[in-house]
Amino acid sequence: MTDAILVLNAGSSSLKFQVFDRAGDDLTIRLRGQVEGIGSRPSFRATAADGTALDPLDGLDTGHTGLLDRLRTWIADHLGGDPLVAAGHRVVHGGDRFGGSVLVDDAVLADLDALTPLAPLHQPHNLGPIRALAAALPDLPQVACFDTAFHRTQPALHRRFALPRDLHDQGIKRYGFHGLSYAYVTADLRHRVPEIAGGKVIIAHLGSGASLCAVEHGRSVESSMGFTALDGVIMGTRPGSLDAGVVLHLMRQGWSADRIETLLYKQSGLLGVSGISNDMRDLLESERDEAAEAVALFVHRIGREIGALAATLGGLDAVVFTAGIGERSAEIRARVCRQAGWLGVRLDPEANQRCRGEAGRISAPDSRVPVWTIPTNEELMIARDVVGCLTGA
Provide the annotated active-site residues. 147
Residues 6+ apart with CB under 8 A from 99: 149, 152, 153
Distance CA 386, CA 241 (A): 34
Instruction: Give me the least distance between CB of 379 and ligand AMP, in Å please.
Output: 12
Distance CA 229, CA 127 (A): 18
- CB of 35 or CB of 313, closer to ligand AMP: 35
207 lies in the site for ligand AMP, by CB under 6 A: yes
What radius of gyration do the chain's Cα atoms show? 21
Q: Which residues pair with 371 in a beta bridge?
A: 319
111 lies in the site for ligand AMP, by CB under 6 A: no
262 lies in the site for ligand AMP, by CB under 6 A: no
Instruction: Give me the least distance between CB of 82 and ligand AMP, in Å please.
Output: 29
Q: What ranges make up the beta strands (E) of 37-122?
A: 43-48, 84-91, 102-103
Sole binder of ligand AMP in the list 281, 288, 354, 368 (CB under 6 A): 281
Judged by CB under 6 A, which stretch of 11-19, 123-131, 320-328, 378-386 contacts ligand AMP?
Answer: 320-328
Instruction: Give me the least distance between CB of 102 and ligand AMP, in Å please.
Output: 25
Torsions phi, psi for 79 (to 5 deg): -95, -5
Judged by CB under 6 A, which stretch of 5-13, 91-99, 312-320, 321-329 contacts ligand AMP?
Answer: 321-329
Instruction: Give me the least distance between CB of 278 and ligand AMP, in Å please.
Output: 6
DSSP 52: P
Contacts of ligand AMP in 329-358 (CB under 6 A): 329
**Residue 192: alpha-carbon gap to chain centroid:** 21
Instruction: Give me the least distance between CB of 283 and ligand AMP, in Å please.
Output: 8
Pairing status of strand 15-23 against strand 210-216: unpaired
Distance CA 140, CA 233 (A): 39
- In contact, 233 and 210? CB cutoff 8 Å: yes
Q: Count residues binding ligand AMP (CB under 6 A).
A: 11
Give the DSSP letter string of 75-89: HHHHTTTPPEEEEEE
Residue sitting closest to ligand AMP (CB): 324
- CB of 129 or CB of 236, closer to ligand AMP: 236
280 lies in the site for ligand AMP, by CB under 6 A: yes
Burial of 250 (0-12, 13-18, 19+ CB in 10 A): middle
- CB of 179 or CB of 207, closer to ligand AMP: 207
Sole binder of ligand AMP in the list 324, 333, 337, 380 (CB under 6 A): 324
Judged by CB under 6 A, which stretch of 67-75, 133-141, 247-255, 276-284 contacts ligand AMP?
Answer: 276-284
Positions touching ligand AMP (CB under 6 A) are 207-208, 236, 279-281, 323-325, 328-329
